[in-house]
Structure 1
């Protein structure tokens, strides 16, 4: 797990790790354009900025709308605020003044249009080097600061679930529950939901990413809630599936099956485990019960500043879990006309058993 020096801010420590790679890559600067990565590296929460990391320091550039915000959020960076100019013009000027000849850029984040404008403004003076994963390689393992925030984000999700359960009643619709849960996230201190909340009743729970509608809740219906919020920029992600009222024997049997698949993956999600092996631990339980084809997605994904991050826990994934990674474990079965069951926790991978970030009951009758 990454830890930060007591004398260096987490943001500065992360930037220093990137700057250390410039020499081996023979680069003068590394251009970071994705807002989640800029927040990770500089603490900036606004909606427009560019970051240029060099061996000598970091240049943070934004426009005049954010001058006051930058003063309170960004430290240990050279800051440049521009007005009545375009970003490519400012970038080209910095390139000329600083004599940069080789610049790396975030290949996964930068649009073709954005790159073309920067290249055109800089003319032929620069060699551009696409870099696909430098920041992602840092972000995939959370430091202690990030894990504490993720725990708080998970705790908010728990409080939202605890608050919504007593409000469920016959006749309430999926959309009504979504609206109430969104308000609950704000009431409990989140910036808002971390993704479009999924609330599905009855047989509609067989839609893995179904859109909430006007379906009313009835006794004996499945209730699938896939939800999460954003706290200090970090996402929570949790799914609970349960029965409103008294479950029948088949509902109990299949819910227990998904619980067993979840536990199987949970037990092997340790440092050194290959991600597809963790997926297979859950998938094997479902396949042996005859539900392999009903589990049609990967087991999970990383979560942090974005709701979907590396690594992926899926059959094709050869990534290896490391201590400090935060991943979801979310096996499910989906049976059209009958319903679906998905159970999800985000967990911190540690030296022993993973630590769930959401603690609420995963049972089939959480009302009890």
Structure 2
């Protein structure tokens, strides 16, 4: 395997095209392109038919594409609006799938206007479904990302004290990550303290951390193109009984989900494992998001592990398990682990402690 390419992925894609009765697929979305071709340039279009693989890009990326995608015929097209449709017309196909959730109206219009009678058909979930099941190499890279994230959090939690700002916590975390060799962050780091911890996506601000604050830290890193994601909530200085109660409920809910999740159950069923616990303690209205989501090349990707997740979880999908309780004016708690779904349960990639810590 070179880069993101392997023949198994192409084979699954071609089988899906055959089932759809379509001649080819046009891939523009950068993550899908990397996954299927190994090309990291992110500009161009992969064209995959039942027996040919092409990578169409402009002058800037020709050498890179030839190096990263040796199993693809690299085609130069400096004017995508005209030259890409002309190339597609030349390969003798009658139908082609396109990524309806990614391409914009102008690109779609250009293709429709310049393709000679070739029917464009929405791709649907074909590549999403293939990407959902991770191979050994993908799981290894996600595990590496998670391990470095845990090292960083272990370092930073020792620095947190009253008087420090949320931004200072985030900066220390991100410096450690970059020094550790990560390619970058999976998403903008969340550090939410005190009343702001009731904001599930409370990005770090200049708010000063005070004695008695919840501090929720939610972050992820990218390692060799793959993401991690985790959350831990701490209390600074002194904890109230109310804070301890909320934390214990969230932890019990997460443990119920971790013990019950397995391949074959739907995202709805997995979500219910944790939600039932939170509702039993009377906090149901304060758990407003889903239990989790898929993680891979993107930090949010299928499968859905929430009230809308009506599809069965597949073995070797990587998902988060992140129940939470968020009470306006008081604060909130979220505990998030990163898991590999297995037929007989889960493999937890998160090893940092989750017992309540008062810093």
Would you say 1:186 and 2:181 are equivalent positions?
A: no
8 Å CA contact 2:322–2:335 kept in 1: the answer is: yes
| Cα separation, partners in 2 of 1:258 and 1:24, compared to 1, 3 Å | closer
CA deviation string 1:292-345 (max 9, x = no partner): 000011111111111111111112321111210111111000011111000001
Unaligned runs of 5+ in 2: none
The CA RMSD over aligned residues, in Å, is: 1.9
8 Å CA contact 1:225–1:241 kept in 2: the answer is: yes
> How many Å apart are 1:352 and its aligned residue?
3.0
8 Å CA contact 2:96–2:120 kept in 1: the answer is: yes
Give SS of 2:60's match.
helix
Alignment partner for residue 127 of structure 1, among 115, 119, 133? 119
Q: Distance in 1 between matches of 2:44 and 2:6?
A: 16
Give SS of 1:113's match.
helix
Give SS of 1:107's match.
coil
CA deviation string 1:131-182 (max 9, x = no partner): 1111001011111111111111111111110121122122110111122222
Count of aligned residue pairs for this structure pair: 359
8 Å CA contact 2:236–2:358 kept in 1: the answer is: no
Alignment partner for residue 87 of structure 1, among 62, 70, 80? 80
8 Å CA contact 2:259–2:345 kept in 1: the answer is: yes
Alignment partner for residue 286 of structure 1, among 261, 267, 278? 278
CA deviation string 1:234-255 (max 9, x = no partner): 1111010011123232222211
Give SS of 1:319's match.
coil
Q: Distance in 2 between matches of 1:35 and 1:97?
A: 24
Partner of residue 309, structure 1: 301
Give SS of 1:266's match.
helix
| Cα separation, partners in 2 of 1:24 and 1:334, compared to 1, 3 Å | closer
Partner of residue 14, structure 1: 9
Partner of residue 247, structure 1: 239
> How many Å apart are 1:202 and its aligned residue?
1.0
Would you say 1:65 and 2:60 are equivalent positions?
A: yes
Alignment partner for residue 34 of structure 1, among 9, 29, 36? 29
Partner of residue 23, structure 1: 18
Give SS of 2:234's match.
strand
Give SS of 2:345's match.
coil
User: Runs of at least 4 residues of structure 1 off by over 3 A?
Assistant: none
Q: Distance in 1 between matches of 2:242 and 2:114?
A: 65
Would you say 1:105 and 2:98 are equivalent positions?
A: yes
Q: Distance in 2 between matches of 1:141 and 1:366?
A: 38
Give SS of 1:354's match.
strand
Q: Distance in 1 between matches of 2:18 and 2:213?
A: 60
CA deviation string 1:257-310 (max 9, x = no partner): 100000111111101112111111101111110000000111111111111111
CA deviation string 1:100-141 (max 9, x = no partner): 22111122222222111111122x421111111110010111
Q: Distance in 2 between matches of 1:155 and 1:246?
A: 29
Q: Distance in 1 between matches of 2:194 and 2:227?
A: 28
Partner of residue 3, structure 1: none
Q: Distance in 1 between matches of 2:53 and 2:186?
A: 29
Partner of residue 345, structure 1: 337
Partner of residue 136, structure 1: 128
Partner of residue 362, structure 1: 354
How does 1:149-188 map onto structure 2 within 5 Å?
149-188=141-180
> How many Å apart are 1:10 and its aligned residue?
5.1
Q: Distance in 2 between matches of 1:64 and 1:309?
A: 31
What TM-score comes out, normalization by structure 1 length?
0.93
Give SS of 1:315's match.
coil
8 Å CA contact 1:229–1:237 kept in 2: the answer is: yes
